[in-house]
Structure 1
């Protein structure tokens, strides 16, 4: 793992409260083709990679690389037909444009669902995306979805404030 990736992984962990045992976020990823980083973090000691990248298979098995697919999502801001992340099909439930209160930049926010599971995708700027997988276990349900939304938007605002 490169130092830049480690740094962004720690930034994700800090800003999305992934170090807390009751965090509403299960795992998160941030991607920027332009800045050259792809970082993933899981809650606590959990490995976040399995949620964003299929471990089985490889190039040439007929499926596009998941990281490449995430890059496409950043460009398309989550296509209405949905997408497949780490072998899991996600359908877009909602999409909205939000003006960041701090920077004035436009943030694109989409809620994806896979059954009872939810994931927020925020595009903070061109070629910068944040993926926030909501913790669907235990108590919390829709409260976790709402709280994760706030954390995802705060992190996207942080990225925008940093010039991404």
Structure 2
């Protein structure tokens, strides 16, 4: 396990421990376009929500995962326009996530430009933040409650700032 993975999992696990019995966030993961998911955490097994790209307990991307996001799918997620009326989608752990929002924001702490997307799968939502270095932070919300969504959005931006502070 890489030092970055160990540090990420420790920080994420601590955040969940502080969240109490019913945290708003179900799972968080860090993703690199070069190496796939490299860290995940959650109140239970956070990796299960990203297993199609991470494999069964493996920290490396599964090369034969049929529904793992590929480079084209990840790139399309960040494209502003819609093609032929079809919304942007991303497949994770057997679920198809539809992009509902895409915003370009400036991180208040680091001053870096970030892409922030809100994805939906039925009554579940997920925030995804992308930095300029091809690193993304995925934050899966427990349900679609507005308060939970706001907390998850904040957490996504916090962890993105953490990664930027680590040199990513």
Q: Same fold by TM-score, threshold 0.5 exceeded? A: yes
Higher relative contact order (CA 8 A, sep 6+): 1
Look up the match of 1:134. Answer: 141
Could you tell me how far apart the structure 2 residues matched to 1:126 and 1:77 are? Answer: 16
Look up the match of 2:114. Answer: 107
Could you tell me how far apart the structure 1 residues matched to 2:32 and 2:124 are? Answer: 25
Following TM superposition, by how much is the alpha carbon of 1:22 offset from its aligned partner in structure 2, in angstroms? 3.2
Following TM superposition, by how much is the alpha carbon of 1:123 offset from its aligned partner in structure 2, in angstroms? 0.6
Q: Indicate conservation of the 8 Å contact 2:25/2:141, yes or no.
A: yes
Look up the match of 2:152. Answer: 148
Look up the match of 1:13. Answer: 13
RMSD: 2.8
- Report the secondary structure of 2:108's partner residue: coil
Following TM superposition, by how much is the alpha carbon of 1:98 offset from its aligned partner in structure 2, in angstroms? 0.7
Residue of structure 1 aligned with 2:49, choices 51, 73, 87: 51
Look up the match of 2:124. Answer: 117
- TM-score normalised to the size of structure 1? 0.78
- Report the secondary structure of 1:28's partner residue: strand
- TM-score normalised to the size of structure 2? 0.76
Aligned length: 152
* 4+ long deviations beyond 3 Å: 1-4, 33-37, 58-61, 70-80
- Report the secondary structure of 1:122's partner residue: strand
- Report the secondary structure of 2:115's partner residue: strand
